[in-house]
Amino acid sequence: MKVKFYGTRGSVPVCDKDYQEYGGNTSCILIQNSNGLGVLDAGTGIRQLGKDLIECKDDICKQFYLAFSHFHWDHIQGFPFFLPAYLSDRKIIISAIGKDATRQNLQGILGGQMKHEYFPIPLEQMGAELEFLNVTSDEYRTSNFHVKTTPHNHPGGAYTYRIEAEGKSVVYCTDVEHIDGIDERVVRIAKDTDLLIHDAQYTPEELEYKKGWGHSSHEQAIEVAKLARVKKLVLTHHDPDHNDSFLCEMENRCKDMYEDVCLAKEGITIEI
């Protein structure tokens, strides 16, 4: 199983010259095994992913899942620029997985940002076959992946995903705030995973005055990894005010705290 990072930034994309090493696009990752692929979140990073999928000639690039951790703007804003969604030979199964998924009007959420006031092409005219799938359970199986979810604390609600395939597992936990200690739900779903991708937008000092904003620190992410006995930890959803030198210093501190940890960088692929 492979994981490629297309968007690693949180809140808003940045393009300054000091933000090139770790990336400036908002959240999007690709998970691929030998039989299929899935996409998590559609921040601005999904634009480049779309270009890569257009160039891909394999059948697995023509039908795939797009799942959302939640629907804040930085996790959906790239979808109108996702080229495969305009091709009639593509099928995209757009999903929200979780016990409260019925609350989410997927078509309305994605279509809302493509109304004529905001975008020239409406959702209905994109061209690809779009199937909207609400899974009202915390577990779902496709022909290629076994997906488990759990809710975690974030304004408006959000979900942690665990994706299992070919004897390996990846846990994606972004936009999570640990209140009064580490969220045990996150620890349980991340137990013994091969790869944990965890929000680390704030420093411990920033958390002191950003309580209720819905994010974690690198120290909290490392604590989750230790409690869950995670094999590899990748920190993501970098704050738009944290430039490359800031994140490099943070990464060095993290490596003193956990055996196998790094910060997500746009374009990197991790094979597990």
Residue 155: count other Cβ atoms within 10 Å of its Cβ: 12
Predicted local confidence at residue 135, as pLDDT: 87
Using the predicted structure, report yes or no on whether residue 163 has a pLDDT greater than 90: yes
Three-state DSSP class for residue 29: strand
* Site of tokens 């959000």: 158
Whole-angstrom Cα distance, residue 145 to residue 239? Answer: 31
Q: E-strand spans in 52-185?
A: 63-67, 91-97, 129-135, 139-141, 146-152, 158-165, 168-173
Homologous superfamily of 2-264 = Ribonuclease Z/Hydroxyacylglutathione hydrolase-like (3.60.15.10)
What pTM value is reported for the model? 0.97
Three-state DSSP class for residue 104: coil
Q: Provide DSSP, 148-178.
A: EEEEE--TT-EEEEEEEETTEEEEEE-S---
Task: Round the average pLDDT of the chain to a whole number and report it.
Answer: 96
Which has the closest alpha carbon to 236: 137, 141, 170? 170
How many helices (H) does the chain have, and how many strands (E)? 6, 14
pLDDT band at 154 (very low <50, low <70, confident <90, very high): very high
pLDDT in tens, 43-89: 999 999 999 999 998 999 999 999 999 999 999 999 999 999 999 99
Domain residue spans of the chain: 2-264
Summarize the confidence of residues 217-232 as an average pLDDT.
98
Using the predicted structure, report yes or no on whether residue 33 has a pLDDT greater than 90: yes
Q: Which of the residue ranges 15-29, 90-104, 105-119, 140-154 would you say has the lowest mean pLDDT?
A: 90-104
Q: Facing residues of 261 across strands?
A: 233
Cα atoms found within 13 Å of the Cα of residue 49, Cβ hemisphere only: 35
* Site of tokens 């991790």: 270
